[in-house]
Amino acid sequence: MLSENPRDDMKEILFEEEQIQARVAELGAQLGADYKDKTPLMICVLRGAAFFFTDLCRRMDCKMDMDFIAVSSYGHGQASTGAVRLVKDVSIDMTGRHVIIVEDIIDTGLTLRYLTKLFKARNAASVATVAFLDKKERREVDMNVDYSGFVIPNEFVVGYGLDFEDYLRNLPYIGVLKEECYS
C-alpha cells in the first residue's frame, strides 16, 4: 500500500531534482554536439521516459524531430515478463535517419535490444540508445547503452517517469521504495 505522501514511502532518495536536471543538461549538451547537422529522430519510449525525453530534447541545441513508441515491459509489480510487445508504433518513416532511442532505465536490456533491432531492420542510418538510469547488474542480454545518466544498484526505483503499479511517475526525484509498500 502506498501512502498519500510519496516521501513517506521512500527508503532512500537516490537523486534529487537538481541533480537530475544537472545531469540531463550535461547529456543534452553532449548529444546536441554529437548530432549537430545530423537532424536526429528522437524516439521516446512511453510511458517511463516521458519526463526525461522532454527535458533532454530541450537541452539539445540541434535540429530534430520526435516520435513516440510504447512497448510492454513490466505489468503490475516488479517482475519483468521477459517478453517485449509493441503497444504503439511510431508514425515517422525512419529510413536513412539517425535515430536516438530514449529510455527511462535499462534493466535486463530486452527492451532496448528489441527496439534497436526493429529500427535497424527499418533501415535507419544509425541507431543510438540513451537511458537515464542503468541497472548494470541486472543485464540478461548483451546490450549496452551509448549514453546513460547514472548507473544504479539493483533496487526498484520510482519517480521521474518510473512507476510502481502506475503510480509515482510524477515525482521530480528518484527514490527507492520501502519494502512494506510491496505488501
Asked if 106 and 122 count as a contact pair (C-beta separation under 8 A), the reply is no
Q: Kindly give the pairing relationship between strand 10-15 and strand 147-151.
A: unpaired
The least CB distance from residue 135 to ligand IMP, in Å, is 6
- For 56-65, letters b (16+ CB in 10 Å) and e give bbebbebebe
The least CB distance from residue 27 to ligand IMP, in Å, is 17
From the candidates 9, 104, 107, 134, give the one annotated as an active-site residue.
107
| Nearest CB to ligand IMP, comparing residues 12 and 61 | 12
Distance of CA 135 to the CA centre of its chain: 12
| Nearest CB to ligand IMP, comparing residues 31 and 157 | 157
| Nearest CB to ligand IMP, comparing residues 21 and 108 | 108
**Rounded Cα gap, residues 40 and 42, in angstroms:** 6
Cβ neighbours for 17, distance < 8 A, ≥ 6 positions apart: 172, 173
Which triple of cell numbers denotes residue 1?
A: 500500500
Task: Note the residues at the interface with ligand IMP (CB under 6 A).
Answer: 48, 73-74, 80, 103-111, 156-158, 162
The least CB distance from residue 33 to ligand IMP, in Å, is 26
Q: What size, in residues, is the chain? A: 183
Secondary structure class of 136 (helix, strand, coil): helix
| Nearest CB to ligand IMP, comparing residues 125 and 141 | 141
The least CB distance from residue 74 to ligand IMP, in Å, is 5
Q: Is 37 annotated in the active site?
A: no
Cβ neighbours for 54, distance < 8 A, ≥ 6 positions apart: none
Catalytic residues: 107
